[in-house]
Structure 1
Amino acid sequence: MKALKGLAISVSLAVTMAFGVANADEVRVPVSEQGQNAGIEVPKSGVTQASVEQKFGAPQSIQGPVGDPPITKWIYSGFTVYFEYDRVIHTVIHHQ
């Protein structure tokens, strides 16, 4: 059994040395572009809280406001909306 493991390691090393180390491409997607193709409609920056509630309904929960300027977080089932005062500053789609 040890001989087979040793042989497997030797073959593996020989293949790596002959053909080089395999490399994979790394795809980087800026946070601002993540989820754009997820098919989920979300509130756009600058929209008021009243407009968000009218279009998407009442959130599952509300956190805040905290800090200065006051930041409030509305949590929906598929995304979270961040407000500064009463305007959307960012929307984050939840991982599925």
Structure 2
Amino acid sequence: MAIGRISSEQAIAALQSILAMGITEILPTLRLHQLALEWSVRLNQTVAYDAAYLALAESQQAHFWTADRRLVDAANNCGASWVHHINE
């Protein structure tokens, strides 16, 4: 919206559609932060951005899909068979 790609009405409609999906909000916890730090160390990352997503997926026992091939390979090498590339 800020860069003029969609109108404010379209942005509001999109947000309403997202909210209607019934997505469960998962709040950060100390355990989730610990998992993210552990993933960051395993992946030898200096920032925990990707690790936070992996920690969340792991905590929910969910599969994680990404376009980042290097992240998939690194996570799979750490035993995370639940991390997949979007082209799989």
Q: Give the TM-score, by structure 2 length.
A: 0.24
Rg larger in structure: 1
Q: Which structure's relative contact order is higher, taking Cα pairs within 8 Å and 6+ residues apart? A: 1
| The structure with more helix, counted as a fraction of residues | 2
TM-score (structure 1 length as normaliser): 0.22
